[in-house]
Structure 1
Amino acid sequence: MPVKRRLLHVPAPTGDEAVTAICAVVRRIPKGWVATYGQVAAMAGLPRRARLVGRVLQRLDPSAAIPWHRVVNAKGEVSCSLSRNGSDALQRRLLESEGVEFDDKNRFDLERFRWLD
């Protein structure tokens, strides 16, 4: 008779632990590659918390050595919003400087540039 295996339940990080986990994942994204908000959330042990990733990155200290610009939406775009105070244009420039190529619709090939750890 086969042995039944039970999944190990690991509680999701909360509070400062969640911020630390998100930042640790984002620091690992190599130059010239991108990850989606949902991808970062899952890798940080926070599945289905893509919006939390966005909030954490939006509140980062500008002097932090975290490549926030490498996190994009699942459509293969830089998310644009008035609340970003122009950081969406900066994000595109930073990605282009790393070799990410955008088309005339402000999109890039997510499958080509997506980081798969």
Structure 2
Amino acid sequence: MAKTNYQELVFDITRLIPPGRVCSYGAIADYLALGSARMVGWALRNSFIHDGIPAHRVVNSKGELSGRAHFNPPSLMQQLLEAEGVKVENDRVVNFKEVFWHPEELGW
């Protein structure tokens, strides 16, 4: 990850989240040791103009689909997660702790 652009660093980590798993904005921010969860969310807002960035796999620290408003339609975030086997009820990942992935799992 030799990039200097914060947005690109966020995109790089987001691309590594395995299908069927979710990560939080805060976990990405902590791993990068740059910025905050809000900054990660801001970066991912711009991910829709790029290919291959699974922004639907990033949720808030409670497992809520807080970024759903940026999907068109908003239900698309849930649909994409469910297509990967992630259970969602009331805009929240049901088994959040079991499907949570932290960038530290990369071992870098």
Smaller-chain TM-score bracket: 0.7 to 0.9
Where does the alignment leave 5 or more consecutive residues of structure 1 unmatched? 1-15
Query: Is residue 19 of structure 1 aligned with residue 12 of structure 2?
Result: no
Cα 1:97–1:85 shift into 2, 3 Å: closer
Query: Is residue 58 of structure 1 aligned with residue 45 of structure 2?
Result: yes
Letter aligned with residue 53 of structure 2? I
Where does the alignment leave 5 or more consecutive residues of structure 2 unmatched? none
- Return the alpha-carbon distance in structure 1 between the equivalents of residues 68 and 85 of structure 2: 24
TM superposition score normalised by structure 2: 0.79
Higher helix proportion = 2
Equivalent residues, number? 99
- Return the alpha-carbon distance in structure 1 between the equivalents of residues 71 and 6 of structure 2: 25
Query: Is residue 101 of structure 1 aligned with residue 87 of structure 2?
Result: yes
- Return the alpha-carbon distance in structure 2 between the equivalents of residues 113 and 91 of structure 1: 16
RMSD: 2.0
Match of 1:90 in 2: 76
Match of 1:7 in 2: none
| Max Rg structure | 1
- Return the alpha-carbon distance in structure 2 between the equivalents of residues 53 and 70 of structure 1: 13
1:7-55 Cα distance to aligned partner (Å, 9 max, x none): xxxxxxxxx52112111110110000000000011122325x1001111
TM superposition score normalised by structure 1: 0.73
Cα 1:92–1:35 shift into 2, 3 Å: same
1:54-86 Cα distance to aligned partner (Å, 9 max, x none): 11111124342111110001111101675x264
